[in-house]
Amino acid sequence: RSVQATLDARHQLAAVIRRTKPRWLFAPYWVDAHPDHVAATELVEAARFWAKLTKCDIPGEPHHPERIYNYYCVHLRLATQPAFVLDISPYWDQKLAALASYQSQFVTGREHLEVSFLDRQRDEAAYWGKMIGVRYGEPFASREPLGMTTMRGLI
């Protein structure tokens, strides 16, 4: 739990961004109780900026991903308003299996809780799904406005 947005880390991540040239970046929501989550977001935002610079010693051609989308792994009880909610209903079983494979991270030592971590994840996904008229949804935030060229993709 020692993720920090150091100058060296920014430089290294900017080099990865230049090499892989992603269209989008994903980072944790920028408000959280976990300092490493907040630092990870700061690191991604800084590296995105650095990756576009032309007068620097970062290897590779400058590249600037279009957007950073923030996923919610928030450990605070916040009432947030996502930029969009993605229908994850077809992938719910895969997501649940992936989460369940990290027993030490999400389950071990928490057996006494009235509502399990996996149950809470299901409930939250069902809530966000209900908001868009599907079974399960995944909310994403963005500090930047989202642009659209058509209304066809809206649920």
Rounded to an integer, the average pLDDT of 54-69 is 96
Report the alpha-carbon distance of residue 140 to residue 86 in Å, rounded.
8
- What's the rounded Cα separation, in Å, for the pair 41 and 4? 10
**What average pLDDT does the chain have?**
90
Taking only the tens place, the pLDDT of each residue in 114-145 is 667 888 899 999 999 999 999 999 999 999 99
Residue 69 has pLDDT above 70, yes or no: yes
Q: What is the pLDDT of residue 60?
A: 96
pLDDT at residue 1 above 80?
Answer: no
What is the rounded CA–CA span in Å between residue 26 and residue 70?
6
Q: Are 65 and 17 in contact (CB under 8 A)?
A: yes
pLDDT mean over 68-97:
90
Band (pLDDT 50/70/90 cuts) for residue 76 is confident
Q: Are residues 61 and 89 in the same domain?
A: no
Both 89 and 151 in one domain: the answer is yes
> What pLDDT does 73 receive?
84
In a shared domain, residues 151 and 104? yes
Same domain membership, residue 65 and residue 87: no
Identify whether residues 68 and 116 lie together within a single domain: no
Same domain, 64 and 88: no
Query: Which domain, by its residues, includes 100?
Result: 81-155
Of 9, 43, 74, which residue constitutes the final position of a domain?
74
Residues 69 and 102 in one domain: no
Can you tell me the mean pLDDT for 110-115?
Answer: 68
User: What does the buried/exposed string (b/e) look like for 73-86 if buried means 16 or more CB atoms within 10 Å of the residue's CB?
Assistant: ebeeeeeeebebbb
pLDDT exceeds cutoff 70 at 106: no
At which of 46, 74, 102 does a domain end? 74
Pair 61, 98 in one domain: no
Q: Within this chain, do residues 31 and 47 fall inside the same structural domain, yes or no?
A: yes
